[in-house]
Amino acid sequence: MRPRCLAVLLVMAVTPALGTARTTVQDATPVAFPFTPDPAECRAAPRPPDEVLALLTGTPVAAASPVTGLPSAVPSEDQLPAGSPADAATVAGIVTTARELIACNNAGDLSRVFAFYTDDFIREAFGGDPTAGAQLAAGLASPPAPLPAEARTELLAVRGARVLADGRIGAVVEDRDPRQTVVFFLIFARTGDRWLVDGQIGVQATATPTASPLAA
């Protein structure tokens, strides 16, 4: 399934076809990393499976945004897009989204995981791949099944949140499950009262962080 990104890895982990088990209110409550989001924190309204699958098959649900020309991966965080530091309220919103997305992943609730992705991101990350479509259809049709504690994903850090040239927010998000640690620069777009994942850039997990983790 392409591209390999943090959000895709989370979805892959809760998709039964792969054989592995993986609130809208933006507040400013400080958080201490690392921590494992509890499945009970997954409160987002589930995204209708038909809506998700329509995006994969090209049915026009919403117009796609222009291509930004961002790289798909970089060898270190030093090569990520620059921007001005995000304010505290924005950082709080980004952390809230990352936290609940992983909580829904830990809850094994694929329909709610997709509530944190924009239409454009779903098209880019999963569209045009029949295998991906079949896997996601199976996953979306399956009832939620919370992962056992030892199999859950841990949120290690959200750092370097910045306002990008196009007005979206980028931040390094690092997480770990029992199999691996992954580091991605997730790009967030404001939709209604929350920030949704709208793009991603892979970062080598061995790269040395250039900024201290940010807690909202």
Cα 171 from Cα 17, distance rounded (Å): 30
| Secondary structure letter of residue 202 according to DSSP | E
Instruction: Determine if the peptide bond prior to 148 is cis (ω within 30°).
Output: no
From first to last of its 216 residues, what are the pLDDT tens digits of the chain?
333 456 555 665 554 433 333 333 334 456 799 999 999 999 999 999 999 998 887 654 444 444 357 888 999 999 999 999 999 999 999 999 999 999 999 999 999 999 999 999 998 888 777 787 788 888 899 999 999 999 999 999 999 999 999 999 999 999 999 999 999 999 999 999 999 999 999 997 643 444 444 443
Q: Which pLDDT score is estimated for 135?
A: 84
Model pTM above 0.85: no
Nearest to 105 by CA among 51, 52, 3, 176: 176
Cα 74 from Cα 53, distance rounded (Å): 30
Contact partners, residue 130, CB within 8 Å, separation at least 6 = none
Nearest to 35 by CA among 86, 95, 77: 95
- Determine contact, residues 126/197, Cβ cutoff 8 Å: no
- Check the CA dihedral 111-112-113-115 and report its sign: positive
Nearest to 196 by CA among 62, 34, 72: 62
Q: C-alpha dihedral over 157, 190, 201, 108, to 10 degrees?
A: 60
Query: What SS3 state is found at 160?
Result: strand
- Determine contact, residues 94/188, Cβ cutoff 8 Å: yes
| CATH number for the domain whose boundaries are 6-17+49-58+70-203 | 3.10.450.540
Q: Which pLDDT score is estimated for 126?
A: 82
Q: Give the H/E segment covering residue 136.
A: helix 130-141
Q: Which pLDDT score is estimated for 31?
A: 77
Contacts 24+ apart (CB under 8 A), 71-75: 71/201, 72/3, 72/201, 72/202, 73/201, 73/202, 73/203, 74/185, 74/201, 74/202, 74/203, 74/204, 75/203, 75/204, 75/207
Q: Which pLDDT score is estimated for 3?
A: 37
